[in-house]
Amino acid sequence: MNKKGLLIVVSGFSGVGKGTAVKKLVSEYGYSLSVSATTRAPRPGEVDGVDYHFKTVEEFEKLIDYNGFIEWAQYVENYYGTPKQFVEDELEKGNNVILEIEVQGAMHIKEQYPDAVLIFITAPNAVTLKDRLFGRGTEDAKVIGKRLKRAYEETDDMMHYDYLVVNDDLDKCVQDLHAVITAESFKSDRNSEHINIMKSELTDIRKEFIS
């Protein structure tokens, strides 16, 4: 019914598998994925325009000056940002846009787009989350300790999200994300135009019966 697309912001605990879930969601249901811009160097296998839009510092700062980002931030020595043009074009075309971003960025987006739908991907429980972090097998206990600290801090932000979706089984998680987006498109405040059209059409049709 509603014509404009939805802006869907997805965050989640470090190690919860949100990247995989978002990729599958986008490929299965044809949503538009927003690709972030960054000044950090591409890692082996990363493709420009797919994993990130890789920019020089000069290019990135020029885009900041031209108001080209919905939100941007600097971590360590690198810039990260969400290009505005792509998101607005897609929404205007009626496409639903998925944006995977950390908590701070998600809050900035909600300020500018109050209609945005914020989803936090969580684990069934903390032990599962810890096991997944260990499961990567690449980090030592100190690094995992840091990640658990961050996860602990992120629990404070979960209430600011509209929905909490558990990633226990990947397929179910992807279906659940799709159910949330589907349901949001039916919200009555997103469909006031349908109500107006029904009202106007029923006014006309009733005339046939009154005259």
- The minimum distance between CB 23 and a second copy, in angstroms, equals 20
- The minimum distance between CB 112 and a second copy, in angstroms, equals 20
Closer to a second copy by CB, 4 or 130: give it.
130
How many angstroms separate the CA atoms of 61 and 24, rounded? 32
Closer to a second copy by CB, 65 or 140: give it.
140
144 membership: H or E segment, kind and range: helix 141-154
Nearest partner of 16 among 171, 128, 146, 142, judged by Cα? 128
- Kindly give, in sequence order, each residue whose CB lies less than 8 Å from that of residue 186, ignoring residues fewer than 6 positions away: 1
Nearest partner of 58 among 37, 86, 88, judged by Cα? 37
- The minimum distance between CB 85 and a second copy, in angstroms, equals 30
- The minimum distance between CB 43 and a second copy, in angstroms, equals 27
How many angstroms separate the CA atoms of 187 and 67, rounded? 31
Closer to a second copy by CB, 70 or 180: give it.
180
User: Residue 118's beta-bridge partner residues?
Assistant: 9
How many angstroms separate the CA atoms of 42 and 210, rounded? 70
Closer to a second copy by CB, 90 or 176: give it.
176
How many angstroms separate the CA atoms of 64 and 81, rounded? 9
- HSE-CB of 22 using CA atoms within 13 angstroms: 22
CB atoms within 10 A of CB 128: 17
- The minimum distance between CB 12 and a second copy, in angstroms, equals 12
Closer to a second copy by CB, 76 or 210: give it.
210
The residues that touch a second copy, with contacts defined as CB under 8 A, are 1, 120, 122-123, 125-127, 129-130, 141-142, 144-145, 148-149, 151-152, 155, 158-166, 176, 178-180, 182-184, 186-189, 191-192, 194-195, 197-199, 201-206, 209-210
- The minimum distance between CB 179 and a second copy, in angstroms, equals 4
Crossing angle, helix 18-29 and helix 170-185, to 10 degrees?
60
Closer to a second copy by CB, 35 or 166: give it.
166
